[in-house]
Amino acid sequence: MNDDQALRRKMADALEAAGKLQSPAWRRAVEAVPRHEFLRGGFFETVPGVSPTSWAPVMPDAPGWLERCYADESLVTQIAGTIVPGDLEGRISRAPTSSSTMPGLVVRMDEDLLVEDGMRVLEIGTGTGYSTALLCERLGEDLVTSVEVDADVAMRARNALAAVGYHPELVVGDGLAGHKDGAPYDRLIATCGITTIPQAWIEQVRPGGLIVATVCGWLYSSELARLTVQRDGTATGRLLGGQISFMLARPQSPPPLGMLPDLDAGEERPTTVGADLLGDWTARFVMQLATPRVQRLDLPRNGRTEHVLLDVDAGAWAAVYADGAGWLVRQGGPYRVWDLVEERIGLWQVAGQPDLSEFRISVADGQQTVFWPS
């Protein structure tokens, strides 16, 4: 057994012990697919102790590179939409735009996809191609289609997949539109986050088929969801729990913040919903259900931190800040952001603050509803 085979076996043991890898078929795939071959172009690591987050390249000749390819870690492979590790000496402080997802999450989602032999799968977000390779190994390359929005990322994935012997159908395009030519699929899995499940996905998965995707929002709380496509063209399901997060699908990313509105203009009042709740994963998810177009920034103003929620397109905003033992909110613009947050948080609290794993999701006529059972 060579070094990388031993590392794969060790990783499979660890993922099994953690309960992420559950079935022998997926274990065989994890042991067969050489993740390091999908990271030949290197990856980025964070530079410790630097703010804002800064990234430095780690190339295959770096000590420990091979071992790190088999750690249960996400490895960033592209920054700011174009920059790959080989382009950079030094460091960069921009946002990651492509990565090899942590193997534990990939296999957990694969297990949640409940595939059976002979099923056809559409994957959205090819990335490095590692997760695509696992699907090929499990199902056979003829049954796998993967869509990647970035042509350069897709080309690298195609090369890496071919180098290790997989030739699935790879499509360059916006995966939010699915890939109609290959429909119907038995399963659809997304390895980028989405704010809403596209109607195209529901139309391209057969009735009874499953969609597994991470539902995110612009307040950066998110959760994995599994939906069953129904005969009437709707889809229903539930959130699966685990506080899963993914980089958002490119067309669904939030708009730039631009010029801030005058945060001193507005009406101030006390609020019983404090900004401390923004630190709670589930509460934040509930808030973004109430105000899906809102983004957050924390600003030092007037000698304190103001937690600002801003809808850039509408110009609505709320600034929440501590006032002695309580909280104050100041709001402006065409609608009252914090009023909506308070109302939805109140309903969630009255329901006993259910966990996200108890939430349900349904999509009908392109309208997504996420709710907790009453």
Ligand X SMILES: C[S@@+](CC[C@H](N)C(=O)[O-])C[C@H]1O[C@@H](n2cnc3c(N)ncnc32)[C@H](O)[C@@H]1O
Q: How many CB atoms lie within 10 A of CB 159?
A: 14
Distance CA 290, CA 340 (A): 6
Owner of token pair 């991470």: 214
DSSP state of 92: B
User: 205-216 and 222-229: which strand pairing?
Assistant: antiparallel
Write out the residues near ligand X by the rule CB under 6 A: 97-101, 106, 124-125, 127-128, 130-131, 147-150, 153, 174-176, 191-192, 246-247, 249-251
Nearer to ligand X, 123 or 342 (CB): 123
Nearer to ligand X, 21 or 124 (CB): 124
Residue 250 CA to its chain's centroid (Å): 11
Closest distance of CB 97 from ligand X, Å: 6
> Which structure tokens are listed for 131?
């997760």
Residue 263 CA to its chain's centroid (Å): 31
Nearer to ligand X, 247 or 289 (CB): 247
Of all helices (H) and strands (E), which one includes residue 103?
helix 103-112
Cis omega (within 30 of 0) on the bond before 34?
no
DSSP state of 138: H
**Phi and psi at residue 304, in whole multiples of 5°?**
-150, 175
> Which structure tokens are listed for 368?
């997504």
Nearer to ligand X, 111 or 358 (CB): 111
Closest distance of CB 121 from ligand X, Å: 12
Residue nearest to ligand X (CB): 127
Nearer to ligand X, 130 or 321 (CB): 130
Distance CA 35, CA 16 (A): 17
Name the amino acid, one letter, at 210.
L
Nearer to ligand X, 230 or 245 (CB): 245
Distance CA 55, CA 36 (A): 20
Distance CA 20, CA 26 (A): 10
Nearer to ligand X, 85 or 127 (CB): 127
Closest distance of CB 186 from ligand X, Å: 19
User: 169-172 and 144-148: which strand pairing?
Assistant: parallel
Tell me the helix, strand and coil percentages in the chain, rounded to 5: 30, 30, 40
Nearer to ligand X, 194 or 277 (CB): 194
Nearer to ligand X, 74 or 331 (CB): 74
Closest distance of CB 171 from ligand X, Å: 9
Distance CA 77, CA 70 (A): 15
CB 127 within 8 Å of CB 157: yes
